[in-house]
Structure 1
Amino acid sequence: MADTAIFDVDGTLVDTNYHHALAWSRAFRRFGITRPMWRIHRGIGMGGDNFVPEVGGRDVEEQHGDELREAWAREFDQLIGEVQPFEGAYELLAEVKDRGFRLVLASSGKREHVETFLDLIGARSLADAWTTSDDVANTKPEPDLVAAALGKVGGTGGVMVGDSVYDAQAAAKLDVPVIGVRTGGFSVGELHEAGVLQVFDSLVAFRHALDGTPLARAGRSADGG
């Protein structure tokens, strides 16, 4: 049974997805490339190594990939001061920790960004570990981030909480179940189709329903078995 709760950070605990979309749009425009904002938004949740070829195209990746990622980082740095945690983020993490789970905050973002978000949530004292881009070779939808999160705490079984289909795809490659929240803008149907077990509209709704989820109690199923 699960002993580790793995929480995606961007878009799940902190409200960053539209900031990321705007930063990517501005980064593309630096190179004279325009992509519709809806298309950019649909790629948020992937790591930058996968995002550029997926949204920009293979030619754009080959010509400008690393420069685009650097430009995105500079653009996002200008927006990060506007980021806020989602309502109930701290309370949800605290309750999951109280229920006996090892708590890992999983991000493949830049270390300075991740640490900013931890401070926004007040999560440093709660988390047993967290990850950054330093911990993964390949980003979502590859499973490196999920494996790194489990490895940080010696977890034998995990449950992941995320906001995107890419979280589900990454976790599925390691047979880790996923609980979804709609904070990333994906529909309930899309998340279920990607393999998400349960979907909640908010972190607050999720916390109120914890007893009916795989995070009811560490080492036990939702029905107490």
Structure 2
Amino acid sequence: MAAFPRVDELLAACRERGLAVVLATSGEDSDLEWMVPAIGGEDVVDGSTTSADVESAEPAPDLLRTAAEQHGLDPDRTVAVGDTIWDVRAARDAGSPCIPPTCGGISRQELVEEGADEVYDDPADLLAHLDDSIVGKVARG
């Protein structure tokens, strides 16, 4: 499976700004074996939380809440990036903003209607606007 464009650079840019990069996936632990290398995350991913760590995965907020707890994330300084309406719902219910890209196949309008705080075309688009995004604002404190 190929990663979206420039996702590795996006993750590195988040780390350079002092942010933790944690993967929260409703997939299995074994999915991390291909997922982390596919996104170029070997050197920038600080941790992960999978469906094995929670009773209910997306759209329930459990995955995001558990990821924050397991990895010592401040919920007030956590931003979810996920490309489905389920990601947006889970983030909203966990009390975190969500900034999805449309490259996952969900339209901008659907994501906004679901409650997305910002919407980008893909990781490259978010990277180009990182400092002006919610992520950039969180990084600045």
TM > 0.5 between the two?
A: yes
What's the CA shift for 1:201? 0.9
TM-score, normalization by structure 2: 0.92
Q: What code does the residue aligned with 1:201 have?
A: D
Q: Deviation per CA, 1:79-114, whole angstroms, max 9, x where unpaired?
A: xxxx11111010000001111111101112111112
Residue 161 of structure 1 is aligned with which of 75, 81, 84? 81
Give ranges in structure 1 of 5+ residues lacking alignment. 1-82
**RCO higher in structure (CA 8 A, sep ≥6):** 1
1:160 to partner: Cα distance: 0.5
| Greater Rg by CA | 1
* Contact 2:64–2:91 (8 Å) recurs in 1: yes
Q: How many residues align?
A: 139
Q: Is the 8 A contact 1:136 1:148 kept in 2?
A: yes
Distance apart, 1:217 and its partner CA: 5.0
Deviation, 1:144, is: 0.9
Correspondent of 2:11 among 78, 93, 101: 93
Identity of aligned residues (%): 35
Aligned residue identity for 1:187: S
Q: Do the aligned partners of 1:171 and 1:178 also contact (CA within 8 Å) in 2?
A: yes
Tell me the equivalent position of 1:175: 95
C-alpha offsets along residues 113-153 of structure 1, whole Å, 9 cap, x if unaligned? 12211022221221111112211110110001111211122
More strand by share: 1
- Picking from 53, 56, 77, the partner of 1:138 is 56
Match of 2:106 in 1: 186
Q: C-alpha root-mean-square deviation of aligned residues, in Å?
A: 1.4
* d(CA) in 2 for partners of 1:211, 1:172: 22
CA offset digits 1:13-45 (Å, max 9, x no partner): xxxxxxxxxxxxxxxxxxxxxxxxxxxxxxxxx
Q: What is the letter of the counterpart of residue 182 of structure 1?
A: T
- Output the TM-score relative to the length of structure 1: 0.59
CA drift of 1:178 comes to 0.6
Which digits, 9 at most, give the CA deviation of each residue in 1:159-214, with x for residues without a partner? 10110111011111121001010022111111011110111111111100011111
